[in-house]
Chain A
Amino acid sequence: MSYYALLFIAGFAGSFHCIGMCGGFACALGADARGASATSLRHVLYNIGRLSTYCFLGALAGALGQVICTSLAADSQRAAPLLSASLEVGQRALAVMAGLLMILMALRFFGVRAWHGGTSGFGGSTLVVSLRSLLGRRGFAAPLALGVLNGFLPCPLVYAMLAQAASTFDVLAGCLSMAAFGLGTFPAMLAMGGVGRMLAPSWRQRGVRVAGSFILALGLVTLSRGVLPMMSGHGLHHIWHFT
């Protein structure tokens, strides 16, 4: 359970980053003319949309990890005498990859850019150009749609969490990881919709640093699962009991 709590906290810290990024959407979504409850509903729908995308992506990532592991397991069964050596190697390799990816993402939060582009490609800008027309639409389908599609926008935080989800090697765990993270971003994003940009930029900067630190820590732990011998092979519960 502490694992998901940690992800929730990471999401909460990371939402300072969200305020800078997706907060613009939440603000632009604005107030509903029909009153406070309608406004709240708009923003809740928007966030639910975002959450469902995260869950879906998490489940997919978990499924991917699961598929890779089971296919490796099948291979290792064919090569019976070698025990489940290759399964272990596969899990370790995935953990290392996920860990490195998260560390790279975390470094971005501290202003270190390992690579450029990615966020400005065809998909991102096309989506953005179209998303703006959703903001003005009335009704409750548009905020939901906005949230769902917003979830697909390129974001280092989400990528890092997806790497984490993939390294759980399980559909349900992957889904729940992303759900925990997504719920963590709820308070700040809902607040954004309600109170607007009340946080000073310096606070935002600090929040981004905290988020970066969390992701860095998560990345290091994930990486260690792949690298340190005693932590391998027993899945994630072992690790999280350990931390």
Chain B
Amino acid sequence: MTSVPDALCRHCLLPVGRRGFTRAVNGEGCQFCCYGCCIAYQVKNGSADASEAAWFLVRLGAGSFLSMNIMLFSLLVYSGAFTGADQRVLPTIHLLLWALATPAVLILGEPFLRETWSQARRGRLTSSALIVLGSLAAYAYSTLAVFQRGGHLYFDTASMVLMLFTLGRYLEAAGRARASRDLAPLLAAESELATVIEAGQEHRRPVREVRAGMLIRVKPGERIPVDGLIVEGRSHTDDAVITGESRQIAKAVGAFVLAGSINLDGPLLIRSSGAGGESRWAQICRSVRDALRQSSRTQRVADRLVGAFVPIVLALAGITLIYWAQRLPLDEAMLTALSVLVVACPCAVGLAAPMAHSLGIGQLARHGCLVRSPGALEALAGIRLIAFDKTGTLTSGRPQLVDIASDGVGEEELLSRLAGLERHSEHGLARAIALAASARGLAPLAAEDVQVLPGRGLRGMVHGEAVAAGSAALMDELGWALPPALFERTELMAAAGHSVVFVGWSEPALAGRARAALSFDDTPLLEARATVDALRALGLQVMLLSGDHAGAAARIATTVGVDDWQAGLLPEAKRAALDQYRALHGAAAMVGDGLNDAPGLAWADVGIAVGSATDLARETADLVLPADGLWLLPWVVARARAVRATILANLAWAFGYNLVALTCGVLGLLQPILAAAVMAGSSLLVVLNSLRLERLPGPCHPGVPQSSAAARPAGEPGPPAQGRSRALALLKAES
């Protein structure tokens, strides 16, 4: 015995032992003593999202029971088991075969027949018609042969063809269920139940019925159904579904929890902060479901081709029958025509695109990237140009203090006064000042009578002196002098694209005057440069389209390594610029923050929003990256290309396969059963080829592990907080 107590099998609760293994079921690792237990456990406890596959499974099981028996007796007949003395039982065997084949054809053929009928009433011929025609012909001929006591029987052909096609359908359904595995947690928002506490009683209710203010109990291991605040309990949560980042976050009373995240280890009582159907999780769920419902252009073209395929194949089968009937006995000619019908079934063509799409969408979703339509994925694979918006996309969107021009006052005195004043403001610049003061270890001085003057700045009293911070207009308004030297320097700052704030105060018995100017700038994101380089390595043109003034745009462009930029563009002008570049380079994607650039995002071939608005329903972008998810972009583009390549390979394979097989069929080189197996195999190959997408590597953050941050050479991106302060230092050094 080992010193460690043996784990117990999750299914049979016996010690796992030497032959045990671990398998993930429903996202958690379970230990099993044997494969059988693993199977049985999955069968019993797996989430039930494969009802389509299950329905086919019943048919497949019952049908294959009959078909296998038919095949068995047919094999025995072919192999000569009923010759000589046993010859007289042959008619009985034939009758038995008929008795087995009739329910088999009914059970297995019914879905195909139903589909054919419903489509035929709408004047369409589908591939099901081919299968139905083929197998019914074989069945009818054989039935006739049984009762006329003559000729060959083809019951095995009829039932095996149907069975193989049902198997094909089953694999298709199962493959789809597997392709949507990554999507399951995202789609769960619509089906999940929440444990609502009302009047001291627990009720299970659908998430969409949860209203703001309700108390919800969440057990460990459950998904948190609604956004809310923790009222009771402490635990860790994993927000991977929402943020795309899987890590444990400690949560205690008063902490905010996100719908869709998993409550890992402690029971929680949560007060819902909004309606269940309005959480981001629910929105993501709707968005993903909508995306999956749509079909891309490639898919529509493929469907149209399939539509044209069927009549052609019918005609071809007819010609084959007539041609061979003049040279061979009728039943052999019929068999050849049957092969043509069966082998030409373009199932794989129909399967080529949707599965690759849902796999791609699911994988992107697992990392927090939402694709709004399969078409967007394909379009993204074909783009030649990526245009970035500046603010909030390539930059952090949070201004930082980069320079101070003073007129004879110390930096520390200035900042401590200012920090006291700005504590009363929620403005972005105020936060930047507080950050700069605390970075220098300065305590803000107490400020009184603080007044916020909208659009101009703010004023107040510090130590009995009037202090004001704001625009030049504010200084003017207060009648405070602006020293010309200071003003000149601020003009330079403004030319470089910085925001400028004047600070002034009065001294006892003297009129106030402006004493310093602070310049603020939006700093580029650390990963921006690596992202731009990676995109360029993918063969894309990268450019910057900014609404900001030229100085700012130019500096950011240089910092992140974009050569091509345009600044001062109104939304309309951005559209015109996009059109212009589109004509030059080809399809263009636009990356923005999703709020200010909505028109641009909508106008581009693919609009990509980074860390977008909370309201997904109003989102115009085709692709939404998570907040701080810019670095994912190269991976997303590569993934989109992989999806498109897979789809094209699938289509080429499916059509090529059909053409070759059809030729063989017409020439009489294929047995019908073999033809059906070949066709089922072609669907399977398409499924397997699509599943190859699962094995591609995940995204890799351009940063290095946090522990080695100190050893990293300057200029390389690192963890956000540290890196940004270094960026600040670098910028200070430049100016």
Contacts and interface: CB of A to CB of B under 8 A. Distances in A.
Interface of A: 20-25, 27-28, 49, 52-53, 55-56, 59-60, 63, 66, 111, 119-120, 122, 124-135, 137, 141-142, 144-149, 153-154, 170-172, 175, 197, 201
B36 A148 contact: no
B540 interface: no
Given A22-B36, A129-B50, A133-B53, A146 B81 contact: no
Given A49-B65, A135-B43, A142 B37 contact: no
Nearest to A53: B68
A134 B61 CA distance: 10
Nearest to B66: A52
A56 B40 contact: no
A125 B15 CA distance: 23
A154 B45 CA distance: 21
B81 A172 contact: yes
A171 B39 contact: no
Which of A52, A66, A170 has the largest number of chain B CB atoms within 10 A? A52
Contacts of B81: 171-172
A145 B75 contact: no
Contacts of B37: 20, 24
Contacts of B44: 28, 132, 135
Interface stretch (B171-179, B487-495, B544-552): B171-179
Contacts of B23: 120
Interface residues of B, number: 50
B75 A52 contact: no
B564 to A, nearest CB: 46
A171 B75 contact: yes
B136 interface: no
Nearest to B175: A126
A59 B61 contact: no
Which of B33, B34, B35, B48 has the largest number of chain A CB atoms within 10 A? B35
B40 A148 contact: no
A131 B41 contact: no
A144 B81 CA distance: 28
B71 interface: yes
Q: What is the interface of chain B mostly: helix, strand, loop, or mixed?
A: helix
Contacts of A141: 58, 61-62
Which of B14, B36, B59 has the largest number of chain A CB atoms within 10 A? B36
A190 B404 CA distance: 86
B691 interface: yes
A137 B48 CA distance: 13
B60 interface: yes
Contacts of B174: 126-127, 129-130
Contacts of B65: 49, 52, 144-145, 148
A20 B16 CA distance: 12
Nearest to A108: B19
Nearest to B40: A24
Contacts of A201: 14-15
Pairs A-B, 7 closest by C-beta atoms: A145-B61, A24-B40, A21-B36, A132-B43, A133-B54, A56-B68, A171-B79
B688 interface: yes
Contact of B58 (A22, A120, A134, A153): A134
A144 B18 CA distance: 34
Contact of B36 (A24, A145, A171): A24
A166 B689 CA distance: 32
B691 A122 contact: yes
A132 B72 contact: no
A25 B36 CA distance: 8
Contacts of B48: 132-133
A129 B19 contact: no
Interface string B1-28: 0000000000110110011000100000
